[in-house]
Amino acid sequence: MRSDTRPARLMAGALMLGLLSGCGIIHDRSNEYRDAPTGKGVKVPDWQTREHIQPAYPIRDTQTGDQVATGEFEIPNPPDMTSEILDQNYVIEELNGQIWLLVNEVPGRVWPMVSSYLTDRGLGVARDNPQIGLLQTEVADFSSRARNLLDITNENPDKLTVVQSRISPGVRRKTTEIQFRVSKVDGRPDGMLQWPSETSDAKEERTLLSDLGDFLKQREDTKSYSRAALNIPSAPKVKMVAGQSSDPHIEMDLSFDRAWSEVTRSLSEAQVPVVDIDRSAGQFYVDFRTEDERESGWFNWFADPDKPEYTYLVSIRKEGDAVNLRTKTAPDYNGDDRSARLLSTLFEHLY
């Protein structure tokens, strides 16, 4: 009987390939892209705009005088889009009179749970509009459970109470922000009420959000998804804008105050020391030196911990409907320009 020698041949071939690679017989092509010829640009039809046709992985055009990295260098890893964003699944946040519950889940899973919560608390759901992320309850005055929850009294019998909930994607990926509004109306609403931009009772809203957070914690094992919630606007509130321009930046669809708060948090989470700030100018003066630059050599063991130095500037500015973030080196900093790395680091922690 003849034995099958194919597995042994395959193993021998793999070993020989490894030896040839180690000896340099097989050429290392990892850096050949630097010398690759430039291809022709995409020709856009006259009826189409070029703005909507951008490279999936854009590389900025270099200009005369630009510094080009040579030798060994490290390419920043892209953000881990599968990682969890929050240490806690339910966090109440507040800024400038706005208060919301931040949930570590996508809107499609949160929507049916909020609807269940409103029904469980005796509020019910009278109307919903996933396209704008709104749920509106029945009149709360006619439910004893709802009256107890909202502490409704008979002091003003001419007014009825209606609760609205707004569900929207969070600033960070895979998160959802939930807000409540408690409105007093003259009669039973005939349609969806306009969402009030300002809170009427922050204490009452915080009570509802805290109660909702407890409700969601108790039902974390319940997994459901709403197809209606697919209509909730899902455009990211934070995105990297690079393209072929010489002005890479982060675009945030946020108010200036919210953007400032998010950037402050991102710098802290990224462990980038902040030396000074100028909020009126929208500037953070930070230290983004490498560990080698921070160390003082052989005598580092005996030296005091290195103090943060202003080496990079992080600036945010309101431009049109968005707030844009840019990074650049400090005027007196003579190290390697790692502005792109800093921008990528902040984007990872923002989004």
Question: What pLDDT, on the 0 to 100 scale, is given for residue 198?
Answer: 87
Q: How far apart are CA 187 and CA 74, in angstroms?
A: 65
Question: What pLDDT, on the 0 to 100 scale, is given for residue 294?
Answer: 74
DSSP string, 266-321: HHHHTT--EEEEEGGGTEEEE----HHHH--GGGGGTSPPPPP---EEEEEEEETT
Domains of the chain (ranges plus CATH)? 90-231 (3.30.310.170), 235-350 (3.30.310.170)
Q: 167: helix, coil or strand?
A: strand
Q: What is the pTM of this model?
A: 0.69
CB distance 136 to 189 below 8 Å: yes
The C-alpha angle with vertex 173 and arms to 171 and 174, in degrees rounded to 5, equals 115
Question: What pLDDT, on the 0 to 100 scale, is given for residue 304?
Answer: 59
DSSP string, 126-152: SEEETTTTEEE---GGG-HHHHHHHT-
Mean pLDDT of successive 10-residue stretches along the chain, which has 351 residues: 58 61 59 73 68 58 55 55 61 90 90 94 94 93 91 80 93 91 90 89 92 91 71 82 76 94 94 94 94 66 71 95 94 90 92 84
Q: How far apart are CA 135 and CA 125, in angstroms?
A: 7
Question: What pLDDT, on the 0 to 100 scale, is given for residue 336?
Answer: 87
